[in-house]
Chain A
Amino acid sequence: MSLINLWSRKQDKQQLFESLLAPYIEHLYKLAYRFRGNQADAEDLVQDLLIKLYPRTQEMSGVENLKPWLDKILYHLFIDQKRKESRSPINLKSEDLDENTETNHPLTFINTQSQENDRYLEQVFQALNELNSDQHSLIILHDLEGYTLSELEQMLETPIGTLKSRLNRARGKLRELLMEPNSNSQRYKQMRG
């Protein structure tokens, strides 16, 4: 005997939720990975985001361009997480946790022909993590995701002047961290010609 499902708003909502978000999960995972730097934390961040979004399904269906809308909420969630973590007395970084595991290496890189090259990219990644989370996420959203500063002004609810100086400090700090004489940066440059 089979059961016919009675029409339900709940089902409609679930379907709507899934159809709205399914196209963006991979993008959100990648962005979350860039924010968090490892797979487990990236997945957690996306999970938290979707839990927050489900009650807003109806609202989402009216959003014209969903990608920046989602990126914005993901960003704020990431910043919240970082704040909570920094307030927490026990501050475990995930790299401390899985130090001895195979998955320790947070990133794999394209251009693996050269180990030197890899090392430089790894340094860049580490330097990125030394920025504060505001600077870090600005570099990701602006330099990697390609949002212009005026788009980010809306998205991050921060005046453009503040964003400009934040970007300047972030890039400056990255240069500083990567610029020691005779560093890999020099060799990377030589290699790339």
Chain B
Amino acid sequence: MSCQYVKQRCDEYIDNSLSEVENMIFKEHLDKCPTCHEQIQQAQQIREALHNMDIPPMRSEFAQQVINNAVQHHETAKPNLYKGLSLALAASLVFVAMTGLYFNQPVIEDSPAIVIGLNQTKNVKLLFDAKDNIDNVSISIELSENLTLAGYNNSKLISWNSQLQKGQNVLALPIMATEFGKGEVIARLEHGGKNKTFLIQINTQQGGSTRNNLNPDFTPLNV
């Protein structure tokens, strides 16, 4: 083996990726040749030194910061359609109050019908009155064919887990009427095997309602 060969293969030797036989021949040369021996030793030493370089520890808050910044960068940079939508709807809010959420038995609650103009969106606010904090409530919202939830890709059923705080809890639904007719929204809350279902009737009207006669805005539902 020549010094030239050692020069060519020294990286593989350092990386320990030579075959057993090659490795043996390599070592034999190093034992006989002080120049190559010295070179390899230096290379290994540099490698060792690299590993010994320490890095100042990451700031403890950095991980959360860097994630939040990235999310914000994308979520706030674009014009927020949904935000614009709810501003436009500010004048036509409908409140439906649902009090006394006890989760005793399945109960269906009816509300007075809400009217929405065709192709218009109305922010319907459901008001849940909870006796206590309730963790892990499964909420599902089901819409009839002529209704859709603005921004939700025409999904007819969405469900998710949430929690209720003791007292009043507001759930705002941007409901859009896509066809004429009588429709309904069913809100279902489930917790610990018990559930309660609310029915909100929504009628679609021609021309849309620029109703400022929503008086009172807030229609409580008696249980």
Contacts and interface: CB of A to CB of B under 8 A. Distances in A.
A34 B167 CA distance: 53
Given A1-B170, A29-B58, A185-B42, A125 B53 contact: yes
B58 A26 contact: yes
Secondary structure class of chain A's binding surface, majority of residues: helix
A2 B135 CA distance: 13
A4 B70 contact: no
Contact of B49 (A29, A120, A148): A120
A17 B75 CA distance: 13
B32 interface: no
Interface in A77-102: none
Interface residues of B, number: 48
A104 interface: no
Interface in A1-33: 1-7, 10, 14, 17-18, 21-22, 25-26, 29-30, 33
A60 interface: no
A3 B170 contact: yes
B171 interface: yes
Given A6-B171, A189-B41, 5 more contacts: A2-B167, A7-B159, A50-B67, A107-B53, A171-B11
Interface of B: 10-11, 14-15, 17, 39, 41-43, 45-56, 58-59, 62-63, 66-67, 69-71, 73-75, 128, 139, 158-160, 162, 164-165, 167-173
Interface of A: 1-7, 10, 14, 17-18, 21-22, 25-26, 29-30, 33-34, 39, 43, 46-47, 50-51, 53-55, 107-111, 120-121, 124-125, 128, 139, 142-144, 148-149, 164, 167-168, 171, 174-175, 178-179, 185, 188-189, 192
